[in-house]
Amino acid sequence: MDHQEADFPSVRLRRLRRTPALRDAFTETRLDPADLVLPIFVKDGLEGHQPVASLPGVSQHGVASAVDLAKRAAASGVRSFLLFGIPSVKDPVGSSGWDPAGPVPSATRAIREAMGDDVVLWADVCSCEYTDHGHCGPLDDDGQVLNDEAIYGYLRESLAYAEAGIDIVAPSGMMDGQVAVIRNGLDDAGFGDVAIVAYAAKYASAFYGPFRDVAESQMAAGDRRSHQMAPANRREAIREIDLDVREGADVIMVKPALPYLDVVADAARDHPLPVAAYHVSGEHAMLVAAAERGILDLDAATLEAHVAIKRAGADLVITYAAEHVAGLLARP
């Protein structure tokens, strides 16, 4: 080394990576079980639970089984649950969604009775599980979802869930104006403390396939591209998020997560509201499938994926792997 080189300190980024303790001390992004939200699918009339082949590790649950799952997950540190309902009766408008004796209100009451306010209960608000055609609301003669009619169905669902004791409603239909109508309706009915998580940037994604099996929400015909966002669009997501914030959302959500980390980062940068990201069924299933073929290590890949979502700016991660991730985080 000559004199000129010695005048400059050596740059060694590896100094802070040398030992596990150093790496832990300088970790920039930390994931905690409290950051995770576990979806629970409650099926009307089901006793126990029923596994779904296309979504490994995920089952449909009866009410008692849903309570057991919530208790087990809470013991691992996961205390937030997103409830989906699967009714025994479907019709063109999705009226089972606002039945006070339906699967989501019944599960809400049962979990609340068993666990009190030690858990946070979310309810997905949409009609796709409840309509006989699988779309997100009543259809016009051309097979397109009727925006305003769908929204008032969402409001009726939200009121039924609020009456049952839900903490958060999460409208996922991507109808224009849905947050404002639900916020005003909840406030007028005396449920001003019920929060709204807006599926603000929900994309028409190829990664939802297994979800439609477990939620039994397959479409008889058509698609959801008239209301969900095109995967190529990023700036449009900012407009969607801005609208939901102005309409009264308490939390904004991006769905899916991993293919849209740029949108997660945009949302976290541009808005002070908490940001949730949904690690959706296809994202989860492809990691499990790759691990089953010996292509990757499931534990390492699952933890890396969730840390990446948090690093991009998500405060909360909705994930089918919530219990798995909590267990990995508990390891010394």
**Residue 23, number of CB atoms within 10 A of its CB:** 11
Among 279, 154, 176, residue whose Cα is nearest residue 226: 176
Q: How far apart are CA 108 and CA 40, in angstroms?
A: 11
Contact indicator for 194, 245 with CB cutoff of 8 Å: no
* Farthest CA pair distance, the chain: 83
| Cα–Cα–Cα angle for 138, 87, 77, rounded to 5 degrees | 115
User: Which of 43, 90, 255, 310 is the catalytic position?
Assistant: 255
Whether 310 is catalytic is no
| Cα–Cα–Cα angle for 109, 110, 115, rounded to 5 degrees | 100
Contact indicator for 293, 286 with CB cutoff of 8 Å: no
Q: What is the DSSP letter of 136?
A: S
**Residue 18, number of CB atoms within 10 A of its CB:** 10
Strand partners, 120: 80
Contact indicator for 57, 288 with CB cutoff of 8 Å: yes
Q: How far apart are CA 206 and CA 59, in angstroms?
A: 21
The secondary structure of 224-241, three-state, reads: CCCCCECCCCCHHHHHHH
Residues 6 or more apart from 205 whose CB is under 8 A from it? 228, 231, 255, 256, 259, 280, 282
User: Which of 43, 90, 202, 310 is the catalytic position?
Assistant: 202
Q: Read off the tokens for 38.
A: 């576990």
- CA dihedral (299, 301, 306, 310) in degrees, to 10, reads 130
Q: Which residues are catalytic, by number? A: 202, 255
